[in-house]
Amino acid sequence: MLVVAVVAAMIGAPVRAAQLPNAPMLPIEQKYYADGPWAVTTVKAVGCDSSGAQCDLWYPTNLGQNGFRHPIITWGNGTDAVPRQYSYLLSHLASWGFVVVASENKNTGTGQEILDAARWMVGQNDQVASIFSHVLAPTRVGAIGHSQGASGALNAMIKSDGLITTAVPIEIPAQVYCLFPGSNPARCADTGKLSGGALFLVNGSADFVISPSTQNQPWQQTGLQSNSAYYHAASASVAKMWGTLQGPEHNDVQGQPGCDKADPPINPPSSCVNGVYGYLGYPTAWMMDRLQGDGYAHQAFISGTGEMFHETTNWRNQVSNIRS
C-alpha cells in the first residue's frame, strides 16, 4: 500500500532552446527536449528496496488517463548523490508519460537497489490500494543512471531476467574505478554480459577522466575503460547506440537545468559546464522508442541515416547497429 504526501507540480515552461547550451538543432531532438504533455507529481521517501533505502517518485499526475498504461523507468544515482539532484531530468521523463522510481541509495553500482526499485514499482500495479493499480505497463521497464549509477543501470538490466529491457548509462565510469583498492568490484559493469535488449551510451566530451570516449589499448586486453569499449563489447544481439555530447563534464546531468541551479552546488564547480540541457532530448526519445513504441523517436537512432548522425553541432562519436 502506498501512503505518502503528494506534491503536484507542472513541469516548468519550455525553455528557449536556441539561447541555451547544447540547444537541439534538429526536429526529433527538439520534440523530446521540450516538456511532454503530462503534468507531473513528485513523491518523496517511499520505502522500496532491499537495502532499507527509500525511493522518490516522479509520475504523471493524471495516471491512466484515457486508458494509458505507463512504462516504468528506474534511476541510479551517482556516488554520494541523491535523486533530487537529478529532479529536472526525472521530471522531464515523467512529463512524457513514464513513472520514474529512484532509490535514495548513494551507492547504486551493483544495480541491486535499482532493480529492487523496479520490481517494487512493477508490484504496485497489482496492489488494489495503490494509486498505480492497473495503470502501469509492467513489461515495459527501462533503467537510466549517472556515473556509478550508470554502471548500476547496466548491472540491474543484466540481473533482471528480462524485466529491464533497455538501459541508458550516462557518464559510465571506466572499469578502473571499480577495481581500485577498497572499491567494490561488484560495481563493475560488463556490456558483454548483455544477451539482448537495447543500450544507449551517453557521455560528455569533457568527461575524459572518468568516462572517456576512447582508450589507447584494445579493450580485450585492458578492460572496458571507455564508452567505445562498452559499446563494442556488447553483443550484436543488443540494439545499441553511443553518442558523445559536445562540451559537458561529469556532473552536467545534475543541472537544474543549468549548473548554477544545481542543489546542492556541484563540487567541484568545474565538473558541470553546460547543465542538463543536452541530456533531455535523445535519452527521452530513446525511452519513447523502446518503451512506448514511438516510431518517430526511433528514426533518430538508425545507423548512418538517423537524425542523430546528422547532428554534428552538439554530438559526435555517433555509432549504432540499428538498421531499420
pLDDT in tens, 257-305: 999 999 899 989 999 999 999 999 999 999 999 999 999 999 999 999 9
Tracing cell 526499485 back to the chain, one arrives at: 117
In a domain, 1, yes or no: no
Gap between the Cα atoms of 85 and 117, Å rounded: 18
Beta-carbon contacts of 18 under 8 Å, excluding residues fewer than 6 positions away, are: none
Per-residue pLDDT averaged across 82-99, rounded? 98
Residue closest to 40 by CA, chosen among 15, 17, 16, 57:
57
pLDDT at 17 over 90: no
pLDDT of 125: 97
pLDDT in tens, 152-189: 999 999 999 999 999 999 999 999 998 877 778 888 99
pLDDT of 11: 38
Domain of 243: which CATH number? 3.40.50.1820
pLDDT of 50: 62
How many domains does the chain divide into? 1
pLDDT of 181: 76
Gap between the Cα atoms of 65 and 68, Å rounded: 6
In a domain, 185, yes or no: yes
Query: What's the pLDDT band for 66 if we cut at 50, 70, 90?
Result: very high
In a domain, 100, yes or no: yes
In a domain, 133, yes or no: yes
CB 240 within 8 A of CB 197: no
List the domain range (segments joined by +) for residue 135. Answer: 6-10+19-320
Q: Please state whether the peptide bond connecting residue 60 to the residue before it is cis, i.e. omega within 30 degrees of 0.
A: no
Mean pLDDT score of the chain, rounded to an integer? 92
Residue closest to 224 by CA, chosen among 257, 198, 191:
191
CB 112 within 8 A of CB 159: yes
- What's the pTM value of the predicted model, to 2 decimals? 0.93
Per-residue pLDDT averaged across 118-133, rounded? 95
Per-residue pLDDT averaged across 136-152, rounded? 98
pLDDT of 2: 45
Tracing cell 547532428 back to the chain, one arrives at: 311
In a domain, 58, yes or no: yes
Strands, E assignment, the chain: 6-9, 40-47, 54-60, 70-76, 99-103, 136-146, 164-170, 198-204, 239-245, 315-320
In a domain, 249, yes or no: yes
pLDDT of 185: 86
Residue closest to 175 by CA, chosen among 225, 133, 138, 218:
225
